[in-house]
Structure 1
């Protein structure tokens, strides 16, 4: 391949994905999108929230199975496996991922869109096990939320590769376990606990006692230096200085490491690298943001000029609240 096109979180925006692929020179050959010289890499989170989840899954899986693309697992694919997998007897749970109102709401659109295709949904759940947690090529790396070299090395030693199996899925239901830490860190990111008695309420109404942190911060001093999430910290919290214990919890990503790409974090604004060798390519497509790709060749330093995207505009007609109205940029 002459290059790679790393594509952000799709969340069921199949029409928008087709427009982005068209814009980058991919064309359907025997029903599968292909590029004559390049390969697409999907950052995960193909499912949930959007209007065309089933179509997006078929498009992506077809590309992967025919060598036109690769993919890493997102937290939503992992969540789906847990939600649909029964817990083992004696665990005290019915499913690995609890069926509570919040979890029900997150997977609602996916299950509804596959309601008439249960056999297909079961096939996709099996396919999720074949999706690696990370890609570690010589020139670049891809992971859904956080590159933790120590955890990745230990995972490779224990699993013999980059994929999970059903035993690992069951083990990961205990968040304090090694499996739980691998899935939480690589697919959701790192976090710090807020000071005692303090919490923040996100835009989704969910009350959190933790905040998500960067895994690449250089010499941070305060919470503001490490926070990385859509919901900002209140100013009085952002000014709090990191303790020695908190500093030791942080992960660093050295500047001499290969460029790494993540999704997950609901960025906004004009796409640009977060650091010379770190880029987030999730720009909230399903929330009428952008579906973004980075066109990676052999560069060591990432450039804002290598980002391409499709803007997702709100539909003008209120009769179609879930349609995708996209404009290529």
Structure 2
């Protein structure tokens, strides 16, 4: 499968981009955000005269209108009014629905266990009476790039690892996976497994020997996700990024020199990069001058956030826009001005 051109569409000086965070089935809130940013629905597809949306992935799972969200986003991408990168939930769906090849000692690439069943349940339920559509979307997921390099900025779902990305380009000839790569990624210690885990889930670090944490979700963790944007971290607290806070004794535990060397960094000299994935809260702002997370927990009644990228080389809190997600999520034409907050 041929890769999408990494340089993407050559734009005029007046064109801008709107990078949009994890949607997770919040279709009406997405419509409200697009309309707030000046996109208009023309022939059923949201478009903007001078700008292009860039979706960060994780369109599916958890939310109330997954099928509607997928149709909205795919229509925009196919029309040229948007671009998109793959999220870990689209990748998980491919693995969950793809049979493993003979000799692999598994039936599906992603095991059908209670935890995985729970994560994809809403998606499969909403497509229960539309199996042909779901199969078409699974095929479409193969066309979602793992990363984008657009003019002077980058987009990836969870983590920009320059070394792995350059290796991936050489192996795949672009920024797309195919079924062979998907099958290979089921082995987590393979090159394919490392690429998908790092780019779509982020970096991680093992807890001090013998320690584990049982989270509120009931899942016992021996690893925690790390901030690839952390500058000169000294303790576990400086790099931890997970749903549950670390116990104080672990948080204050100093990082060894060997652990510091394992932690990926993103230098200030690199172009701005946008990620989703991390379930942030509070008022949207850059993580550092060249790193921004735009996932602000929309499906948990947080905010669906976008960053309006133009020609800047240093990111600004003033360029974030968002819509507060109402309870329950309402159609876009019933949003009040109070819920459309810059």
Which residue is 1:218 aligned to?
A: 231
Describe the SS at the equivalent of 1:295: strand
Match of 1:296 among 305, 309, 322: 309
Which residue is 1:307 aligned to?
A: 320
Which residue is 1:188 aligned to?
A: 201
Does 2:128 correspond to 1:115? yes
Describe the SS at the equivalent of 2:325: strand
CA offsets 1:108-153 (integer angstroms, 9 cap, x no match): 0000000110000000000000000000123100000000000000
Which residue is 2:142 aligned to?
A: 129
Which residue is 1:238 aligned to?
A: 251
CA offsets 1:31-85 (integer angstroms, 9 cap, x no match): 1100000000000000000000000000000000000000000000000000000
CA offsets 1:190-210 (integer angstroms, 9 cap, x no match): 000001221112232211111
CA RMSD of aligned residues (A): 1.2
Which residue is 1:51 aligned to?
A: 64
Which residue is 2:153 aligned to?
A: 140
Q: TM-score, normalised by structure 2?
A: 0.92
CA offsets 1:226-248 (integer angstroms, 9 cap, x no match): 11223221121111111122111
Give the conservation status (yes or no) of the 8 Å contact 1:51–1:323.
Answer: no
Q: Can you give the 5+ residue segments of structure 1 that lack an aligned partner in the other structure?
A: 316-321
Q: Give the paired residue count.
A: 323
Which residue is 1:103 aligned to?
A: 116
Give the conservation status (yes or no) of the 8 Å contact 1:11–1:286.
Answer: yes
Deviation at 1:289, TM superposition (A): 0.3
Does 2:240 correspond to 1:227? yes
* Farther-moved stretch of structure 1 (305-314 vs 80-89): 305-314
Deviation at 1:217, TM superposition (A): 1.5
Match of 2:192 among 176, 179, 183: 179
Describe the SS at the equivalent of 2:54: strand
CA distance in 2, matches of 1:206, 1:118: 31
For residues 260-299 of structure 1, what are the structure 2 equivalents within 5 Å?
A: 260-299=273-312
CA distance in 2, matches of 1:136, 1:249: 25
Give the conservation status (yes or no) of the 8 Å contact 2:29–2:330.
Answer: no
Does 2:63 correspond to 1:82? no
Q: TM-score, normalised by structure 1?
A: 0.96
For residues 190-209 of structure 1, what are the structure 2 equivalents within 5 Å?
A: 190-209=203-222
Deviation at 1:273, TM superposition (A): 0.3
Give the conservation status (yes or no) of the 8 Å contact 1:3–1:297.
Answer: yes
Deviation at 1:219, TM superposition (A): 1.2
Q: Can you give the 5+ residue segments of structure 2 that lack an aligned partner in the other structure?
A: 1-10
